[in-house]
Structure 1
Amino acid sequence: MSSLTGQSCEACRADAPKIAEQEKISLLREIPDWQTVELDGEEQLQKVFKFRNFAEAQAFTNKVGELAEAEGHHPAILLEWGKVTVRWWTHKIGGLHKNDFIMAARTDAAYAN
């Protein structure tokens, strides 16, 4: 499991810097199945998780929601039959912050359990 899972999100301000390119490359190695996407001009982390049915996908969605609420950092979650798409980014800065990588790693951990 990634070392990111043991880290906590830090409070993020609107003037916080987006993650530097070199650090982003390094952190992506810890969450290798995630991809970066750009939506509405904002870079985001995205991953699709597969399930056997809707009920399993919904249970996972609820787990991710609980993780998000506990940290006060909320993703976009698309729940469909047999899959869940999760996107993390920091709304306040309009892009990626280390918090997003921490939460992506925690999302992977929730899926593994």
Structure 2
Amino acid sequence: MSNLGQQSCSACSADAPQVTDAEKQTLLKDVPEWQLIVQDGEEQLQRVFTFKNFVQAQAFTNKVADLAEEEGHHPAILLEWGKATVRWWTHKIGGLHKNDFIMAARTDKLYP
């Protein structure tokens, strides 16, 4: 297993390459709870986190938001009673970059 959860995002420009299919398969092994989805034509990483109540889910989403702001890389977060859905992708390139896998691994570390 790699140290994805200990890495920081690298600066990403609009011409940065998306991860290849082979890279995706390797990186997914380090974030096995995450699923590849396509939303609005863009591939994204998604995971649903479950909690006992709204307050716990909200506290978690606040931690994810703080992490995102710290790294300058922002996910979509859906907060509901007892769950939070987090989606990572790189807006600038319209798909997945290694940064998204790093942030997924770091998000996992925030989950109690």
Q: Same fold (TM over 0.5)?
A: yes
Percent identity between the aligned chains? 71
| Unaligned ranges ≥5, structure 2 | none
| Unaligned ranges ≥5, structure 1 | none
Q: State the alpha-carbon separation in 2 of the partners of residues 5 and 32 from structure 1.
A: 13
- 2:22 maps to 22
Q: State the alpha-carbon separation in 2 of the partners of residues 5 and 106 from structure 1.
A: 5
Structure 1 residue ranges, 4+ long, deviating more than 6 angstroms after superposition: none
Number of residue pairs aligned between Structure 1 and Structure 2: 112
1:110 aligned partner, one-letter code: L
1:4–1:50 CA distance, 2 compared to 1 (3 A)? same
TM-score (normalised: structure 1) = 0.97
Q: State the alpha-carbon separation in 2 of the partners of residues 80 and 95 from structure 1.
A: 25
Q: State the alpha-carbon separation in 2 of the partners of residues 7 and 58 from structure 1.
A: 25
- 1:52 maps to 52
Deviations 1:42-72 (A, max 9, x none): 0000000000000000000000000000000
Q: State the alpha-carbon separation in 2 of the partners of residues 101 and 80 from structure 1.
A: 24
Q: State the alpha-carbon separation in 1 of the partners of residues 108 and 93 from structure 2.
A: 24
Q: CA RMSD in A?
A: 1.0
